[in-house]
Structures are given as structure tokens and as C-alpha cells.
Amino acid sequence: MYPMKFEPILKQMLWGGERLIPFKHLHSDLAGVGESWEISGVENNESVVANGPDKGLNLTELVRRYREELVGEGNYARFGNKFPLLIKFIDAKQDLSIQVHPTDELAKKRHNSLGKTEMWYVIGAAPGAKLRSGFSRQITPKEYKERVLNNTITDVLQEYDIHPGDVFFLPAGRVHSIGAGAFIAEIQETSDITYRIYDFNRKDANGKTRELHTEMARDAINYEVLDDYRTAYDPEKNEPVELVACPYFTTSVYDMTEEIGCDYSELDSFVIFICMEGAARVKDDEGNELEMRAGETILLPATTQYVTVVPEEGGVKFLETYV
């Protein structure tokens, strides 16, 4: 097995921008691309391998073929043939809807699916760009419904001005939305279940409003109030910095100008690198070597024992995540 790249799955959205195509160095005339699904095992949206002997296979076929060798023994026992993470880049030219995702328990009951816990890493932010996460004060399910109906739900959501490097952890049940001008990397459970709470009364090209899931969301929301919904961390050069550790993924950021070795010999999981700035050469213990540059995502199979990352001139910044 070897480090793999995948063909991006580009999604044109009502709110999509124009930054993803150049960020990923793609030759495409698509406009309004809101999301690039980098690594996906979502049914009917499976990523396809772009390099090496397994080129052309999709992620579900890969898991079925390689099982524990690809994802790790514990992950295969836990998730079977379903790849457990979905990796995206998101470019919001307009505000996304206010939404919430169900827990695993509720999603299993309602949809026979995983729920969705996720995280955001801010890659870029236009002046005035914001993210919403959590409630700014305590409200009840009754007040929630009233505010959705009278268009004031945003008045009780915590809103943050954002800057590159900001991190938000979003456990299932936390109300959230991505604001206009935000450009982010998103790591989440493999689930495409979203309850849309409020969509600013937007209409599509046919003059129709999008479906809302106000009632389903009411029972999925965690109404707790926190002092701060951001994830605090101290940036470091040439050292991995852990951002999030939860049952669904562990994610660190690397901001490197020097060569670094990553020892995965004790880790029973695949590893994903999500490159946000610069470029580097990635070499594994089997003699495989791959270039990684901004806008690219690499999957290292669970059989990988050791990786050396050699930044090119100017350095490299990337996220490392695994289960």
C-alpha cells in the first residue's frame, strides 16, 4: 500500500464562491463551487483514487479490498466497510443556512446512519467574515421554534469574527453556520445528514425556498450555553500542535519549515494530511514518495509505519487527522 490522492468531488452551491478552483490548482470553468469533497465514502459520492496501482478504485472499494490494512483493525471492527471520515474544503460567498446535526444515537434511530460531529479550521477569511457556533444565551425548545418562525433565531446565536488559523469544534447537537467570506477545511464523521433550521428566506433560481427541518432539529439541538465555543491553542513552528481529540477524530496542525518525521508504528489507524499552505515531499517507510501542495489531501494507509515530511522552500502548513 502507498500514500493516495483522490479526485476532488466539486459541489456547486447556491452560496458557493470562486476560490476553490484556483486554491486546488484545477483547470475548470465551474462557477459557484462551494465545496470540494476531498475524501468521501458517502454513498453515491465516493472519492476515486487519482494515483498509483489503485487508480480508478473508489474509497468504498478500497476499504472492501484492504480492510484493516487501510483503516486499522479497531476502525474496521467499529465501522466495517464504511470509511469513517469525510474531508472537505468549503468556500462561502454567501451565508450558509443555520443548521444542526444529530448525534449517532438519534441518526441511527431516524436514518440508520452515523451522526455528525465535525470541526472547522479557517484557511482564509474575507474582511468581516464570521462563523456562528452555539447559543449566546439560554433558550428553550419553545423559544427556539418561535424565533425560527419570526426570523430572529440569529439574535441568540454566538457570532465570531474569524481569521486564518481559527478552530471550532462542533459536536453533534450544536447549532452553527458558516458566514459569507469564510474559507475553511472541515473534518467530520461520514454522514450527510443536516437539519436546516433557517435559510434567511432565500430563494433558488426557480423562486423556491429550500426545505427546512425545524421540528426534527428541535429534538437534535443541545441547548447548553458555553462561555466560548472556539478552540484555543498556541501555534508553534516546526512542532505538531493538537487541536481536537474526540472519539471520532484526532487532529493536529503542522506549520513546518524544517523536515519532520512522523512515527505511526503504534497507531492503529489511517492518517490524512490536508495541505493548506505551501508544499512538501512526503516519504514513507516503504520507499514511496509523493508531493503535497496547498489544496491537496493525502491518505496514508494504516500499514504506514513512518513518514518523513520535507517542506519545500517557503514551508508547508497542513492538518493531520486520524481516528
Q: Which residue has the cell 489511517?
A: 270
DSSP string, 141-155: HHHHHHHHHTT-GGG
Phi and psi at 90, nearest 5°, equal -130, 130
Instruction: Please list the ranges in the chain whose pLDDT falls under 50.
Output: none
Residue 207: what pLDDT?
86
Instruction: Enumerate domains of the chain plus CATH numbers.
Output: 4-220 (2.60.120.10), 241-322 (2.60.120.10)
Rounded to whole angstroms, what are the CA distances from 72 to 83, 136, 160, 194? 11, 40, 37, 28
Which among 254, 250, 260, 228 has a CA at the least distance from the CA of 240? Answer: 254
Which among 155, 53, 169 has a CA at the least distance from the CA of 120? Answer: 169
DSSP state of 18: S
| CA gap 47, 62 in Å, rounded | 10
Task: List the grid coordinates of 215.
Answer: 421540528
Model pTM?
Answer: 0.96
Within 10 A of 215 (CB to CB), how many other CB atoms are there? 10
Q: What is the pLDDT of residues 71-128, one digit of tens each?
A: 999 999 999 999 999 999 999 999 999 999 999 999 999 999 999 999 999 999 999 9
Phi and psi at 214, nearest 5°, equal -55, -45
Strands 167-170 and 118-125: antiparallel
Q: Which residue has the cell 513546518?
A: 256
User: Is the torsion defined by CA of 319, 276, 231, 180 positive or negative?
Assistant: negative
